[in-house]
Structure 1
Amino acid sequence: MTLEIIFKAFGNFMWGSPLLILLMGGGLFFLLYSRFLPFRYFRHAIQILRGKYDGEKGEGDINHYQALSTALAATVGMGNISGVAVAITMGGPGAIFWMWVSAFVGMATKFFTCTLAVMYRGKDSLGQLQGGPMYVIREGLGKKWQPLAVLFCVAGMFGTIPSFQSNQLTAALGEGLLIPLGVEMTFAVRITIGIILAIIVAMVMLGGIKRIGTVAGSLVPIMVGLYVIAVVAILVLNYQVVPENLTLIFTDAFTADSVLGGAVGAIIIAGARRAAFSNEAGIGTAPMAHGAAKTNEPIREGLVAMLGPAIDTIVVCTMTALAILITGIWQEHTEGVSGVTLTIKAFDDSLYGGRFILMIALVTFAITSLFSYSYYGGKCFSYLFGAEYIRYYQYFYIGMVVWGSVTSLGAVIGLIDGMYALMAFPTMISALLLSPKVIAAAKVYFKKVDI
């Protein structure tokens, strides 16, 4: 049995009904339990993001904007470009509808999990203040729940490996640039790209969260803006077919007329899996970034965090999906192509120079994602083995960048999906158990704050 078959089977097994119920049902619980509180204060969340409260004195390393940018650097990336294409290939246009549903309830999930990440911060082996599900479990639930924290960190070290980003960026460089120039994508070419990526990542990664936050805060608005402009141009040029493809997303979600030709349940799973990789709501990675925010008001960070799924899944993923659907590329290419290749073909068929515009966005997306994932995996490693040994994880991470450039897409997706599923159980269980603490803090906060 090959490694790809093993990893695919692992990913498919982990994304069964129990996890789907936990993520979607848990998110719905948070939404109803809070009485749609995050959405009622959406404007206040924008004010926090714009820096209205950045002058506050609080523990932490980065401001609200940098925390969201670091989280978005991981989510607004390959998950929005390649991941959407993979979702359509696996589950048809209807998978996008279930990505929306997952993102909508995921906004409430992000509010709870990221509020808790600030509320229950703890110190690592070097005495540095840290946040994330493992510290929420340790500080909020106590030592008897420690196995959940360990499970999260073990899964987190492998779920945040950079191999999907390096794999898809290598494929994109080949499809969008090198192959048209007559360069064959041999093993030597692929591993050379991987080594160059590894060097770039190492230069930023070794600077820690402050450098990652600074770089992400600078690049994220640029990359999102460039990508959105390009997709809007495609939609305007094909405006006649936009309504029917939007309708197709809704009808396909319930008729199961998918690429898989299977049941609606298969489409829901495909959408939920890709949404988890896109916005990470309930997975537990984003709370590690938001847990580093410089604030003593946990509710503020929860409100900022909930903006993530709205930006990366509801806006960016929808635009990618429409760009793919209106060209009909998804019906012509479903087997034997990588996810990012589908998106490149859609851009190339619809926009003059589209592949080169997409290439710029792809390179920025992939590299910034690699920065954030290095931080996430490093925090998991530090929790288990001690922050003083972080360099060993960094060596491993750099090696995984190179491995991803030469391995198969199926193996990478299977491994990461399976580990993401494992991370979700500790994250959601701890958030559900501690949800009354969040509501109590929210009531206190909104009574005293001037909105």
Structure 2
Amino acid sequence: MQIIDTLFAKMASLAWGLPLLILLMGGGLYLIFRIRFLPFRYLGHALAVLRGKYDDTNDVGEISHFQALTTALSATVGMGNISGVAVAIAIGGPGAVFWMWVSAVIGMSTKFFTASLSVMYRGKDTNGEIQGGPMYFITEGLGKNWMPLAAFFSVAGLVGALPVFNVNQLTQAVNDLLLKPANLYHGTYTNIIIGVILATITAIVVLGGLSRISKTTSRLVPAMVLLYFVMVVYILGVHYTEIPRYLALIFTDAFSASFYKGDAFLGGIVGGLILLGIRRGAFSNEAGIGTAPMAHGAAKTNEPIREGLVAMLGPAIDTLIVCTLTALAILVTGVWQSSDSNGVTLTATAFTETIPQYGKYALLLCIAVFSISSLFSYSYYGTKCMSFLFGANNKGVYNYFYIASIILGATTSLSMMINLIDTFFALMAIPTMLATIILAPKVIKEARNYFAKLKNKE
């Protein structure tokens, strides 16, 4: 296992090198400047679309704008926010948060383009059903000659969509917060039982298809985001005197990397910190990776730009709000320096420090709902990739591998799982970003037409 762990770490390090950094961040900046920040001026309109003001039952698609966003958010608002931020701070200190913010702002632009493309260039699967996502906008937008790039994305997506990181962290949370304090933890045997329970719950929902997934997540995710938000605001209220100091430290440490414990990048520790923040930011909001466009491509709309605007809200909710709240809770309580914990346990320590009796149990409830809802969404992404590669009739086969992988995630180490998913997220980003940059002029033309029509209506 140690050899496999080292191999995955080397793979992740190789995948997240300078070329990918240029593609994700440089590509995102290119998209922002090409469209001249135009979508950022219509965030109010995006909220109106999300509320259903422009819904039309006759439009093509399977799910509403709101369900598309909550399906995408259920995959991103979760362990990336609760555990991923903790991993970033444990390795990089407060400065990592700043680079996660940078990743999110650039990611909002990237999400606008990728989600717009996933509706503009929807394709049909072998059953003749309308589908969206990077593999379809590559083949429909760029032509059949680009099929190898679409296939590359789909193969990487089969592994990238596996739920192993989320399951790993949920298992760690259940063990550390519930079973170990009650002396009910029995090593691998306990992990296997947790894995089997999670696999059973997931099987019941995912075998019911997208409709059941979207209905379940649209009910669960908003309630848990609210509970999590209330708890973190309470923690910040108790430690309000510390907030200004740590907000300042996030900015200053971003360029000094005083607390960074990882490897150097581009010859320095600040480079290493930037890369860490962008990696964790990409894991948190998945902008440019290509998973969310698969959910947004199923939205019931004939206006691609509307779905692009709704998708933009994802990184804002996910990284700029939820991740920042988690980061401040970890920082102001001081547990990032006083505790040796990492991942979800570090966040739990912050909650226990301020809300001793109930904090960890309320957090465990949020973690359970976030993790389980993300298990549902990722299965949908994996089956879409399977369907594209091997035909729609075979997509259900993926769910059985997916459900089996839950037990793998429950019984392996955090570092192994996070490096595995990081590697395949990086591989998914390459075709997604390349195709998005090439097709960007089509989105810009569509956006200008849409916003001109909107102004005329007003």
- Please state which band the TM-score falls in when normalised by the shorter chain: over 0.9
Q: Report the equivalent of 1:392.
A: 397
Report the counterpart of residue 63 of structure 1 in structure 2: 64
Asked if 1:120 corresponds to 2:126, the answer is no
- Asked if the contact 1:171–1:338 (Cα under 8 Å) also holds between the matched residues in 2, the reply is no
Matches within 5 A, 1:384-423: 384-423=389-428
- Give the conservation status (yes or no) of the 8 Å contact 2:351–2:363: yes
Partner of 1:194: 195
The reply to whether residue 444 of structure 1 matches residue 449 of structure 2 is: yes
2:347 aligns with one of 328, 343, 348: 343
Counterpart position of 1:131: 132
- 2:256 corresponds in structure 1 to 255
Measure how far apart 1:308 and its partner are. 0.1
TM-score with structure 1 setting the length: 0.98
Where 1:398 maps in the other structure, the secondary structure is helix
Q: Secondary structure at the match of 1:267?
A: helix
Whole-Å separation in 2 of the counterparts to 1:191 and 1:38: 47
**Counterpart AA for 2:174:** L
Using structure 2 for the length normalisation, give the TM-score.
Answer: 0.96
Q: Deviation at 1:391?
A: 2.2
1:168-179 to 2 correspondences below 5 Å: 168-179=169-180
Instruction: Tell me, yes or no, if structure 1 residue 321 matches structure 2 residue 322.
Output: no
Deviation, structure 1 residue 56 = 5.0
User: Structure 1: which amino acid aligns with 2:434?
Assistant: I
- 2-side partners of 1:441 and 1:226: how far apart? 39
1:40 aligns with 2:46: no
* Counterpart residue type for residue 161 of structure 2: T
Paired with 2:432 and 2:10, the residues of 1 have a C-alpha distance of 23
2: distance between equivalents of 1:169 and 1:101?
Answer: 28
Deviation at 1:258, TM superposition (A): 2.1
Shift of 1:333: 3.3
The Cα shift of 1:338 comes to 4.0
Three-state SS of the structure 1 residue aligned to 2:6 is: helix
**What does residue 306 of structure 1 align with?**
312
Aligned residue identity for 2:405: M
Alignment partners' CA distance in 2, 1:340 and 1:294: 36
Give, in whole Å, the separation in 1 of the partners of 2:362 and 2:305.
38
**2: CA distance, partners of 1:177 / 1:271:** 30
What is the SS of the residue equivalent to 1:101? helix
Distance in 2 (alpha carbons) for counterparts of 1:374 and 1:332? 38
CA shift at 1:76, angstroms?
0.2
Distance (whole Å) between structure 2 residues aligned to residue 338 and residue 422 of structure 1: 26
Does residue 147 (structure 1) correspond to residue 148 (structure 2)? The answer is yes
Would you identify which runs of 4 or more consecutive aligned residues in structure 1 move more than 6 Å?
A: none
Long gaps (5+) in structure 1: none
Residue 276 (str. 1) matches residue 277 (str. 2): no
Gaps of 5+ in 2: none
Structural RMSD (CA): 1.1
Q: Quick one: structure 1 residues 279 and 185, their matched pair in 2 at CA, closer, same or farther if it must change by over 3 Å?
A: farther
Q: Partner residue of 1:84?
A: 85
Letter in 2 for 1:409: L
CA distance in 1, matches of 2:156, 2:339: 33
Question: What is the rounded CA distance, in whole Å, between the counterparts of 1:215 and 1:56 in structure 2?
Answer: 21
Deviates more, 1:113-122 or 1:7-16: 7-16
Deviations 1:169-212 (A, max 9, x none): 00000111111111124111111001100111111111111111
1:174/1:185 contact within 8 Å kept: no
Taking the aligned partners of 1:364 and 1:63, their CA distance within structure 2 comes to 22
- List per-residue Cα deviations over 1:111-137 (Å, max 9, x = no partner): 000000000000111111100000000
Q: Hey, what does 2:52 align to over in structure 1?
A: 51
In structure 2, C-alpha distance between the alignment counterparts of 1:148 and 1:41, rounded to whole Å: 33
For 1:184 and 1:367, locate their aligned partners in 2 and report how far apart those are by CA, in whole Å. Answer: 21
For the Cα contact (< 8 Å) 2:161–2:381, is it kept in 1? yes
Could you tell me whether the CA contact under 8 Å between 1:61 and 1:294 is conserved in 2? yes
Task: Flag the 1:118–1:422 CA change in 2: closer, same or farther, 3 A.
Answer: same
Q: How does 1:285-296 map to 2 (within 5 A)?
A: 285-296=291-302
| Alignment-derived partner of residue 375 in structure 2 | 370
1:381 to 364, 378, 386: 386
Q: What percent of counterpart residues are identical?
A: 58
Letter in 2 for 1:136: F
Residue 180 of structure 2 aligns to a residue in which SS?
helix
Aligned amino acid, residue 431 of structure 1: T
Q: Which residue of 1 aligns with 2:17?
A: 16
Cα distance in 2, alignment partners of residues 135 and 446 from structure 1: 25
**Aligned equivalent of 1:165:** 166
Distance 2:391 2:236 in 1: 50
Q: Secondary structure at the match of 1:25?
A: helix
Measured in 2, the distance between the counterparts of 1:376 and 1:423 equals 12
